[in-house]
Amino acid sequence: MYATKIMSTWKQSKQVGDWLLLANGIVFVGLLNLAASTGFFRLDLTEEKRYTIQESTKRLLRDLDDHVYVEVFLTGDLNPEFRRFQNSVRETLEEFRVYSNNKVDYVFTDPASAVGEKAKNEFMKGLTAKGIQAMRVFDNKEGERVEKIVFPGVLISYGGMETGVMLLKGNRTQNAQVVINQSIEGVEFELASAIHKLTNAHRKRIGLIKGHGELDSLKIAGLNSSLFEQYDVFDVTLLHKKSILNYDVLIIAKPTETFSESDKFKLDQYIMKGGKVIFLLDRLDAAMDSASRDNYYAFPYELKLDDQLFRYGVRINQDLIQDRSSATYPVVVGQNGNQPQLMQMEWPFFPLITHYAVHPITRNLDATWMRFVSSIDTVKAKGIKKTPLLFTSQYTHKSGAPVKISIDDLRKKISPENFMEGPIPVAYLLEGEFTSVYKNRFPPAGVDTSQFSKKSKPTKIIVIADGDVARNDVNPRTGQPQPLGFDPVSGYTFANQDLLLNMVAFLADEHGLISARSKEVKIRPLDKEKVKNERLFWQTVNLTAPVIVLIIFGVIRTLLRKRRYSRF
């Protein structure tokens, strides 16, 4: 009787405790929801922070005034690598939606789902016209080789405007897995920069310096049109008294004539006031139009910019680089009746740059096509940080001026032992407080020295020892400019445009969107040999371990219950 009364009292107290525990849990959940409604945080537990959005991107998304609509065409029957790419795009867009307070809306559309073959072709042509190129992907399905067409791009709309964005980027010299991984790393930047392009009401001003034999409007049309999508672009002549300080970035693209002292003074003082300049300079006068002559030699240009660049920290040498990693050029090797026989042969004076610095400007770039490039040395410049951006391959040879350039040399056998001088830097980023080249000089006659500065504000300069990196070819049949970086010989479009746009963005973007290009997603492939050797062991562990753990848990629970209730 006494034991029964004790048991009844214990049960009542246990019920009261359970109800109190439930009430406390409800109150805790309520308080947690209240706190979550007033605050917002997300945790990224991955090692490389692959799901973390850059602060500059978050700021862009928070400041959106209207909805952004993103239509993704990377969908359909995809192979595993492209499905991983698709998942990354979806995850990034979901993060964009969260940080924009639901102002980013997205949908996945399969171009192959259009009803009828004609409608499908028209839809695909429309995507191509908007800059979203189709890609042919080969996959093995049930032992058969299957060809698929995918559109790794998106169409972004905002405020009645839209732009197409290709998301598949990367260095095509790498294998497919690496290219996909590099594209995944760049998804945030590509999407954020496209949204910024559509939403930016205060466009930066870019000046193209003219008056010294620079590339004419037809040969720089590719760069001009790509810049105009994001910036206001102007031709700038230093002869006028109009100030150049209201331009955010100046570009000097392949000058061939001498800079006067007054022009140099204006450029110098522009930099001293914090201005940013991209120098795209040919050191030697070399052209393919004259390379068919046996006695053609390339001599240095007299630009008179050497002392200025020297004071800023670099020197472009009077040489030309020949690289075994190069583009090809058609050479006549014989006659077939009245028709010449052409063969594509490597032309070492056209190096293909695939060796880049670890920097947001050059991260995950495809090969860059350069023509008649020189080497660059650094010199002492106090307070200046010098970052080499582009390098030739290790199989490189330098020739000092004057340099003989002859197509006939292509027919000669190349001696590999003569091409062992690389890698050689051909582009530099200079950052810091520059010293004026006119610090201890008399200023040129006729210039305004009322606001002369001997020391610059913190600023940045980029120097590339090749002016042709910004030059597009012109179609000889139509007279229309071809895309920047397009090689008419191979039909391939190199990364020249992406490189120059990244440079301008790095110099002009005070919001730091280009920092999103620093994101890294590591590939962690399985060790196939280890998988093969340890396959049976891990299969056994996975099958038996859960059962053993469950049995141990049941035994321990039974013993604890027996011990607990045996006291009564």
Rounded Cα distance between 566 and 13, Å, is 19
Predicted pLDDT of residue 144: 67
Strands 161-166 and 153-158 turn out to be antiparallel
Given a cut of 80, whether residue 65 has pLDDT beyond it is yes
What strands, in cross-sheet order, belong to the sheet with 425-432? 232-237, 205-210, 249-253, 276-280, 459-464, 425-432, 384-391, 355-356
CA separation (Å) from 212 to 199, 260, 317, 462? 36, 9, 20, 19
Per-residue tokens: 122: 């028209």
pLDDT greater at residue 150 or residue 523: 150
Given a cut of 60, whether residue 260 has pLDDT beyond it is yes
All residues at 6 or more sequence positions from 74 whose CB lies less than 8 Å from its CB, including other chains = 82, 85, 86, 89, 108, 150, 151, 152, 153, 154, 167
Per-residue tokens: 74: 């990377």
When mean pLDDT is compared across 326-330, 411-415, 462-466, the lowest value belongs to 411-415
Per-residue tokens: 53: 């959005």
Predicted pLDDT of residue 143: 60
Residues 205-211 have a mean pLDDT of 93
Average pLDDT, the chain: 83
What are the residue ranges spanned by the domains of the chain?
1-39, 55-198, 206-494, 531-568
Given a cut of 80, whether residue 35 has pLDDT beyond it is no
Per-residue tokens: 216: 């004419």
Predicted pLDDT of residue 433: 93
For the chain, the maximum distance between any two Cα atoms, rounded to a whole number of angstroms, is 123
All residues at 6 or more sequence positions from 204 whose CB lies less than 8 Å from its CB, including other chains = 230, 231, 232, 248, 249, 508
Phi, psi of 534 (to 5 degrees): -110, 15
- pTM for this entry: 0.79
Classify domain 206-494 at the CATH topology level: Rossmann fold (3.40.50)
Measured in Å, how far apart are the chain's first and last C-alpha atoms?
13
Rounded Cα distance between 104 and 291, Å, is 54
CB atoms within 10 A of CB 361: 25
Residues 327-355 have a mean pLDDT of 78
Predicted pLDDT of residue 522: 57
Residues 344-373 have a mean pLDDT of 89
pLDDT digits (tens, 9 = 90+) for 378-407: 999 888 999 999 999 999 999 888 988 888
Predicted pLDDT of residue 333: 61
The CA dihedral of 445, 451, 457, 462, to the nearest 10 degrees, is -30
Predicted pLDDT of residue 244: 87
Strand locations in 51-160 (E): 68-72, 104-108, 135-141, 144-150, 153-158
All residues at 6 or more sequence positions from 494 whose CB lies less than 8 Å from its CB, including other chains = 352, 366, 367, 368, 369, 485, 486, 487
Q: Which residues pair with 138 in a beta bridge?
A: 147
Helices and strands (H, E) in the chain, number of each type: 11, 26
Predicted pLDDT of residue 5: 57
Predicted pLDDT of residue 521: 60
Predicted pLDDT of residue 8: 61
Predicted pLDDT of residue 518: 63
Q: Which residues pair with 340 in a beta bridge?
A: 335
Rounded Cα distance between 59 and 56, Å, is 5
Classify domain 55-198 at the CATH topology level: Glutaredoxin (3.40.30)
pLDDT digits (tens, 9 = 90+) for 505-514: 999 876 677 7
Does residue 345 contact residue 331 with C-beta atoms inside 8 Å? yes
When mean pLDDT is compared across 115-124, 232-241, 320-329, the lowest value belongs to 115-124
Range list of H helices, 252-405: 261-272, 306-312
- Confidence tier at 471 by pLDDT (50, 70, 90): very high
Residue count of the chain: 568
pLDDT digits (tens, 9 = 90+) for 214-228: 999 999 999 999 998
- Whether omega for the bond prior to residue 402 falls within 30 degrees of 0, making it cis, is yes
Domain pair 55-198 / 206-494, same fold: no
- Confidence tier at 279 by pLDDT (50, 70, 90): very high
Phi, psi of 500 (to 5 degrees): -70, -40
All residues at 6 or more sequence positions from 483 whose CB lies less than 8 Å from its CB, including other chains = 222, 472, 493, 497
Secondary structure, 3-state, 500-555:
HHHHHHHHHCCCCHHHHHHCCCCCCCCCHHHHHHHHHHHHHHHHHHHHHHHHHHHH
Q: Which amino acid is at 203?
A: R
Residues 359-368 have a mean pLDDT of 88
- Residue linked to tokens 């990377």: 74
- Confidence tier at 19 by pLDDT (50, 70, 90): confident
CA separation (Å) from 30 to 21, 40, 412, 435? 14, 16, 82, 62
CA dihedral sign, ordered 387, 309, 220, 209: positive
Predicted pLDDT of residue 277: 95
Predicted pLDDT of residue 303: 92
Given a cut of 80, whether residue 172 has pLDDT beyond it is no
Predicted pLDDT of residue 283: 93
